[in-house]
Structure 1
Amino acid sequence: MYSKYVIVVLVATFAAFASGQSYEDKRCKCVCPSPAAVFNKTVADKTADHRRHYIANVPPNKCNCAGVIIPRDGPEILGREQEFCPRCECKYENRNTTIIKVVVIIVIWVIMLLVVYMGFLICLDPLINKRAKASYQEHTNEDDESTLGGPSTQMGARGNVLNRVTHQQDKWKRQVREQRRNIYDRHTMLN
């Protein structure tokens, strides 16, 4: 049954890698002001103030205004390239999308493992508490342990690790309850 889930996850992973090939690892990104803002055209809409982003898949030697922007917005800036192009900032970017995908998949697997572990602990907690309630007597004071034979004989009677863990858990819960009582009593006394 679990093998079906593993196969589905593997197929989904390979599909993600196959569909991800449409993204380019190398690109040229140019950020330019709006042509209307550069040429002092009065435009009714507010887009004149914004900067435009141009992204193209060109070789590094053509990552400039003439190689990216003029082929797209040529009619808008025709004859005024000397005014417009110096205001553009072009950068050639190189990234590795395969490494990004692998890291994302690893993070997703770690989160899935942690969720499964949390579910295991949630299922185990009632079993631990059921066994602890059957063999546990609540002590009101830590000094009472010394009159009952001390912690060494008590640990010897408990024997296994599970009982020791539940004992420590119950001790911690008692301490938390006592601290809450002290805080709430002090809080009511202050008011």
Structure 2
Amino acid sequence: MRNLLYFFLAIYIFQGAQAQFDDKRCKCICPSLSSVTNKTEKSHTSRLMHTTNDPPNKCNCEVVMLPRVADQLNITEMKEFCPRCECKYENRNTTIIQYVVIIVIWIISILVVYMLFLIILDPLLNKRVRGNYQEHTNEDEDSQAGPMSHNMTVRGNVLNRVSNQQDKWKRQVIEQRRNIYDRHTMLN
């Protein structure tokens, strides 16, 4: 229930932030004014970028950029300036982006909670395993003995089964390391 409340709270916050972004926009990126003029003033050396809410048919340099720089350029420089500009009309759906971000955050938070659960569970497993642990040197005997050879209390307890699998995996890793680094052979 608490998670559901957090979910709706996150959606409410993102919906409030929706007004800050435009789904449709015209974005023009132009070279510096010094590329078309002989002036090297500080205001002329940086690239120009401007974003507007103009419709797609008006997304061009003449409509978006020239009114902003018209007082700094003469007619011939304006003719050279616009072909160097790149104007793109962008259409995006910020609602979908918001929901994808929310889903990713939820997945990450679920994985973090699961990791914390395993970190808390690990000492409990190791404490119980140390009490019932006996060294097992031949894994072939396990496969020949069959499933009935295990103690019924161990089979019924999920924690013991998980710890047994974990111990078996650790023994396999140790054996693989021994074969690779000491004997220089690989397991099949």
Q: TM-score, normalised by structure 2?
A: 0.79
Percent identity of the aligned residues?
Answer: 52
Mark the CA change 1:46 to 1:161 in structure 2 (over 3 Å): closer, same or farther.
farther
Q: List per-residue Cα deviations over 1:37-88 (Å, max 9, x = no partner).
A: 123x14166963x642221121222211221112211211242322222222
Q: TM-score, normalised by structure 1?
A: 0.78
- Equivalent positions of 1:24-173 (< 5 A) are 24-39=22-37, 41-43=38-40, 48=45, 51-80=47-76, 81-142=78-139, 145=142, 150-157=145-152, 158-160=154-156, 162=158, 163-173=160-170
1:140 match: secondary structure:
coil
Contact kept in structure 1, 2:33 and 2:44, CA below 8 Å: no
Out of 3, 20, 23, the position equivalent to 1:22 is 20
Contact kept in structure 2, 1:65 and 1:88, CA below 8 Å: yes
2:75 match: secondary structure:
coil
How far apart are residue 182 of structure 1 and its match? 4.2
RMSD: 2.9
In structure 2, list runs of 5 or more residues that go unmatched. none
Amino acid at match of 2:23: D
How far apart are residue 10 of structure 1 and its match? 3.3
Aligned residues: 181
